[in-house]
Amino acid sequence: MSLLTVRDLSVQYGTVQGGVLAVDRVDLTINRGEFVGLAGESGCGKTTLAMSIPNLLPKYASIVSGSVEFEGKDIATFSESELNTLRWKDVSVIFQGALNALNPVQRIGDQIAEPILIHEPGTSHDEAWRRACELLEAVGIPSARAKSYPHEFSGGMRQRVMIAMSLACKPKLVIADEPITALDVMTQAQILDLLRELSTSFDLSLLLISHDLSVLAETCDRVQVMYAGRAAEAGTASEVFGAGNAAHPYTRRLLNSYPNINGERVFIDGIPGYPPDLSQPQIGCRFAARCSEAIDVCRTSEPDLVAISATHSVACHLAGKSVTHG
Ligand code: SF4
């Protein structure tokens, strides 16, 4: 049984103009010990999909269809207290921007100890503090710094504190939402190495959300590319991001938007245009207006996500057909 199974999930935001489906009939599976990446432009539904898992959606958003199953149990059937147990003990979140996520007037040792005290009744404050110190050591921060406040740390160290906090209740799945975006490249590399090390020692699965395809390619076992609320392509990291392997025109354009430090110096194309307005009905392929390979059927019929190998799926009318890749 998979650790997490998201099936045909749709999530809608209520707006003054009406409902907007930010996630539209998306599947996602994460197995134990697996690192899965979510890629795509801002607003493609990555964070909404991820926050549906521990049911941390904002009040004006709701799951309108589909299901999220954790260890075979549908979270829609969970009571509020079961949901509170799911959060932290089974699934924890490393939020983007550690300075905003940490309490500026509380010592970090207390902030790491707090979920332990809440979720493991009977644990003494001394025991929770000792575990907080151990977690700090595990993420490379001397335990003596447990008495410090967030402003006394660098950005990279605060992100390490967030990682330590996410591990406080020994969760099975950690959702990391752009955990390294604001950090310099050296610190990014250290944090990614740390997540890999911790995944083994803490027996973790990870859902990693990032704009940075190279981070996902290096860190994840499998990846899913999202576009305008739909899954465009999914497969192993090498099937989707390996040289010449991407099967969806959007994935190829995303990959071409990154400079190649080994190749000739060329201007980056980027992707022309903008994602569609999801408050309007979507007809045909959502990428058609920006796709240089679009054919007539793309403007009238939405492509399904179809398997082109045992582990690689693509939502494109040209999938599996011979095309010249730009
Ligand atoms: Fe491009 Fe058509 Fe494929 Fe959409 S279905 S990505 S428009 S070729």
pLDDT tens digits, residue range 143-201? Answer: 999 999 999 999 888 988 999 999 999 999 999 998 877 677 777 788 888 888 888 88
Q: Is residue 157 part of a domain?
A: yes
Ligand 1-lining residues (CB < 6 angstroms): 248-249, 285, 287-288, 291, 293-294, 298, 303, 316-318
Q: So what's the pLDDT on residue 182?
A: 67
**Which of ligand 1's atoms lies nearest the C-alpha of 293?**
8
CA–centroid distance, 222 to ligand 1, in Å, is 22
Q: Is residue 238 part of a domain?
A: yes
Which of 10-14, 73-77, 229-233, 265-269 is the least confident region?
Answer: 265-269
Of 92, 29, 23, residue with least CA distance to 63: 23
Tell me the β-bridge partners of 9: 26
pLDDT band at residue 326 using 50, 70 and 90 as cut-offs: very low
Q: So what's the pLDDT on residue 44?
A: 94
Which of 298, 313, 321 for mutating ligand 1's site (highest number of atoms within 8 Å of CB)? Answer: 298
What residues make up the domain containing 37?
Answer: 4-220
CA–centroid distance, 55 to ligand 1, in Å, is 32
Phi-psi domain of 31 (left: phi exceeds 0; alpha: psi -120 through 50; beta: other)? beta
- Same domain for 268 and 199, yes or no, is no
- What whole-number distance in Å separates Cα of residue 192 and Cα of residue 226? 22
- Same domain for 257 and 236, yes or no, is yes
> End of a domain among 220, 255, 271?
220
Q: What is the mean pLDDT of residues 299-322?
A: 92
- Same domain for 215 and 245, yes or no, is no
- Same domain for 205 and 258, yes or no, is no
- Same domain for 78 and 136, yes or no, is yes
Q: So what's the pLDDT on residue 282?
A: 92
- Same domain for 135 and 250, yes or no, is no
Q: What is the pTM (predicted TM-score) of this model?
A: 0.91
DSSP 8-state class, residue 87: I
CA–centroid distance, 291 to ligand 1, in Å, is 6
As for how many domains the chain has, the answer is 2
Measured in degrees and rounded to the nearest 5, phi and psi for residue 259 equal -70, 145
Q: What is the pLDDT of residues 66-94, one digit of tens each?
A: 999 999 999 999 999 999 989 989 999 99
Q: So what's the pLDDT on residue 243?
A: 83
- Same domain for 195 and 71, yes or no, is yes
The residue with greater pLDDT, 24 or 100, is 24
CATH number for the domain harbouring residue 204: 3.40.50.300
Helix (H/G/I), strand (E/B), else coil: 154: coil
> End of a domain among 220, 236, 270?
220
Q: From residue 129, how far is each of 71, 98, 111, 137 by CA, in Å?
A: 30, 20, 10, 12
Amino acid type, 314: V
Of 278, 281, 282, 313, residue with least CA distance to 298: 282
Q: Is residue 54 part of a domain?
A: yes
> End of a domain among 164, 194, 220?
220
- Same domain for 278 and 157, yes or no, is no
pLDDT band at residue 99 using 50, 70 and 90 as cut-offs: low
Are 323 and 251 within 8 A, CB to CB? no
Q: Is residue 319 part of a domain?
A: no
CA–centroid distance, 292 to ligand 1, in Å, is 8
**Which of ligand 1's atoms lies nearest the C-alpha of 292?**
1
